[in-house]
Amino acid sequence: MPLKWDQSLATGIREIDLQHQELIGLINELERAQLAVSGNGGDAAGRAALAEVLPRLSSYVLFHFGTEESMMETLPGRPPHVEKHLQEHRRFAERVAALKGREVAPEELAAFVDYLKRWIVEHIQRTDRELSTFIL
């Protein structure tokens, strides 16, 4: 089922909320492509969509993390939140990078999409919300 951005995912920081909406759109695109390649061995259009969306998603993730990380740099006294938040971003970026430039089996892709959907909701609701308490 596609993810839907609603107030339960709001951080109150407009720029971040807009980027999260974009990110969720990309995750949904990835899921659509994943479903298209996993049915009946997949079709060429599904594989092409996948090859196109995966790099787009991974660059957008890096761009988005960059936005949040620049905000963190402005926080006085570097609260412990910053290290924890950076670490979550790093771990996630590694997981995304591990899929790049190689053939990904349908089961691995399905597991990745699941992970992505769970990660984004949890990360926004806990970590990005916590960041917003320092910014707002």
Cα dist. 96→75, 85, 89, 91, 116 in Å?
28, 17, 11, 9, 9
Could you say whether residue 68 binds Fe ion (CB under 5 A)? yes
Question: How many residues line the site for Fe ion (CB under 5 A)?
Answer: 2
Could you say whether residue 29 binds Fe ion (CB under 5 A)? no
- Say how far apart CA 30 and CA 19 lie, in whole Å: 16
Span of 1-9, 54-62, 65-73, 97-105 interacting with Fe ion by CB under 5 A: 65-73
Which of 81, 91, 86, 57 has its CA nearest to residue 69?
Answer: 86
| Nearest CB to Fe ion, comparing residues 16 and 33 | 16
Restricting to residues 110-129, name those near Fe ion by CB under 5 A.
128
Question: Per DSSP, which regions of 44-102 are E strands?
Answer: none
Could you say whether residue 17 binds Fe ion (CB under 5 A)? no
The minimum distance between CB 7 and Fe ion, in angstroms, equals 18
Span of 10-18, 47-55, 67-75, 114-122 interacting with Fe ion by CB under 5 A: 67-75
The minimum distance between CB 37 and Fe ion, in angstroms, equals 29
Read off the tokens for 14. Answer: 């407009």
| Nearest CB to Fe ion, comparing residues 31 and 68 | 68
Neighbour-count burial of 94, counting CB atoms closer than 10 A to its CB (0-12 exposed, 13-18 middle, 19+ buried): exposed
**85 neighbors 72 (Cβ within 8 angstroms):** yes
* Binding residues for Fe ion (CB under 5 A): 68, 128
